[in-house]
Amino acid sequence: MPSSTSEQILRELHASLTLRKRPEDVARLIQDMYAAQGTRLDAATEAALAKAAEHSLRNLWHGYTSMREEFARPVGAQRQLARAARLFTSMPELPASAGNDPDRIEAVIRRAGEEIGRSYGQNDFGLDRLDRAERTAAGLGDISKRQYNKRFRLLRRMEAKLARLLHEQHRREVVITGKGALAHALPYELFATDPDTAAFVAYFTARGYMRSVFTNGRQRQVYDEVAEALLQRLRNLPEKACWYAVAHVHPTGEVLAHVSDEDLTRLLVRWNGFLRRVAELLEDAWNRHPLERDTMIVRPGDDSSTWNQAAQAWNTARAHWFALLTELGQDEILDRICPGKVPRLMAADVAYWHRMSGGGLHPDTYVWAELPLPWEVLRGEEQCPRSLVEAVCARHRVDPIRGAWTAPRPVAEAVAFRRTPELVHGVPVADPLMAGALRSAGIFSGKQKRAAAQEWT
């Protein structure tokens, strides 16, 4: 049984699966967990964790980072619920957390609507309101027209707020899943089954949550020497590890081979549903403003944030889906339906930077431009078999297997650990205090904040 201290640390590590802690700080928590359990680490793991934890906030003189340590959360309906509590006598006492729960918000709207003879979804201010005779017949004769209208408008606004909240919660899930796969969905009981498993999942997820750097080269790889050392501990005692939990974030053939077919199928079904939801988000962004598909360079009017978040989530889900199909021996499905990868939109200045440094468009962009759109493939409106993808890849001299167009992603080799940079809109800044000041001034954001900027002139 873990001690109370080690269990507390395990819960902190589990909480980090929905936060955005620096990998260095997670490494320090892992060190503390092993110390509390009295676990003797092998030399490789001890050295790797020490290398990362050396730069944790607890070991730095300032102990501060200017970057948010959680993903932005949607604004809940607490204000609207408080207003409804004052206007409707049937409103029960609700905790503040109810403002973030769509089911409870909808229940309040329905219950309050019954109080004024309004059904859920009746939002037309001209057609759905009751006139004086209808209000009297409904037993609302003691409520003035003004008071009735006030309540009707509030419920109409609450329904609109509920729709926005659902959209933003879905978008937040897309962002988190795109970076950390299904780590955020791991229940504590499964996560804490084995401390070594928890250590790997927490650290690997923290690496996945790292922000992108403004560069014309490759982004930093997720799988580094610390993750390799932690995974090696699982390899040394495979019967003790919870491989199903690891498969939520790192679906290599080595990991999936330890997972039962039942659990693999459970993950496959989950990724199937997620792929379809992300495809709808991509389609919505595309329909609002079709992109320059041949270059994927941002143009005025493009919603690059939504598209890039959805594209990353699609590619993550697709990679897990391919890996699970292959492990289950069902990859013949790809002979009939093999949806392509989705590239992110590139800013025009980054594209120019690529050209000036002797580069050009990534070859994957040309493959994407010739394949049917993913949402059309999933709905069966367009055919995209593996043979078509292979033919398009061959035309543009892209290896369909190494490029993960027709097969799971190749197993990544561990890269050296590098300290997490302090970023201001993707640009590395040495000092976190300076980074906070630059961010407040709007530097590197592309937005002019004259009052703040003048303080630095």
Classify residue 207: in a domain, yes or no.
no
Cα-based distances in Å from 366 to 373, 378, 390: 13, 21, 13
**Averaged confidence pLDDT in the chain:** 91
How far apart (Å, rounded) are the C-alpha atoms in residues 310 and 5?
39
Residue type, 122: Q
124 and 39: one domain?
A: no
How far apart (Å, rounded) are the C-alpha atoms in residues 155 and 112?
8
Selection from 235-249, 337-351, 353-367 with the highest mean pLDDT: 235-249
Residues near 64 by Cβ (< 8 Å), separated by ≥ 6?
57, 432, 433
**Mean of the pLDDT values across residues 353-369?**
84
One-character DSSP codes across 376-444 = HHHTTSS-B-HHHHHHHHHHTT--TTTTTSSSPPPPPPPBPP-PPPEEETTEEES-HHHHHHHHHHTTT
Q: Is the pLDDT of residue 346 over 50?
A: yes
How far apart (Å, rounded) are the C-alpha atoms in residues 438 and 424?
7
Classify residue 144: in a domain, yes or no.
yes
Domain end point (choices 151, 175, 199): 175
Beta strands in 69-190 (DSSP E): none
Residues near 260 by Cβ (< 8 Å), separated by ≥ 6?
244
Classify residue 13: in a domain, yes or no.
yes
Predicted pLDDT of residue 89 = 87
109 and 152: one domain?
A: yes
How far apart (Å, rounded) are the C-alpha atoms in residues 158 and 108?
10
pLDDT bin (cut points 50, 70, 90) of residue 2 is: low
92 and 36: one domain?
A: no
Predicted pLDDT of residue 344 = 93
118 and 161: one domain?
A: yes
pLDDT digits (tens, 9 = 90+) for 97-122: 999 999 999 999 999 999 999 999 99
28 and 84: one domain?
A: no
Predicted pLDDT of residue 296 = 92
pLDDT bin (cut points 50, 70, 90) of residue 443 is: confident
Classify residue 35: in a domain, yes or no.
yes
| The residue to which tokens 């309906």 are assigned | 77
The sign one gets for the Cα dihedral 348, 349, 352, 353 is: negative
84 and 147: one domain?
A: yes
pLDDT digits (tens, 9 = 90+) for 364-383: 999 999 999 999 999 999 99
Q: Work out the percent of the chain whose per-residue pLDDT is above 70.
A: 96
Predicted pLDDT of residue 448 = 58
Number of domains in the chain: 3
Contact 345, 298 (CB under 8 A): yes
169 and 106: one domain?
A: yes
Task: For residue 442, give the nearest of 423, 420, 421, 425 by alpha carbon.
Answer: 425
Classify residue 96: in a domain, yes or no.
yes
**Mean of the pLDDT values across residues 329-338?**
95
**Mean of the pLDDT values across residues 229-245?**
96
pLDDT bin (cut points 50, 70, 90) of residue 446 is: low
pLDDT digits (tens, 9 = 90+) for 290-319: 999 999 998 888 889 999 999 999 999 999
pLDDT digits (tens, 9 = 90+) for 35-83: 999 999 999 999 999 999 999 999 887 778 888 889 999 999 999 999 9
Contact 303, 379 (CB under 8 A): no
Predicted pLDDT of residue 15 = 97
Domain end point (choices 175, 206, 241): 175
Helix, strand, coil percentages in the chain from 3-state DSSP, rounded to 5: 55, 5, 40
Contact 409, 319 (CB under 8 A): yes
11 and 87: one domain?
A: no
pLDDT digits (tens, 9 = 90+) for 404-440: 999 999 998 999 999 998 888 888 887 787 888 888 8
88 and 151: one domain?
A: yes
Classify residue 258: in a domain, yes or no.
no
Backbone angles phi, psi at 380, to 5 degrees: 80, 10
Predicted pLDDT of residue 224 = 96
How far apart (Å, rounded) are the C-alpha atoms in residues 85 and 104?
14
Classify residue 167: in a domain, yes or no.
yes
Classify residue 116: in a domain, yes or no.
yes
Domain ranges, residue 40: 4-59
Domain end point (choices 175, 200, 227): 175
Q: Is the pLDDT of residue 171 over 70?
A: yes
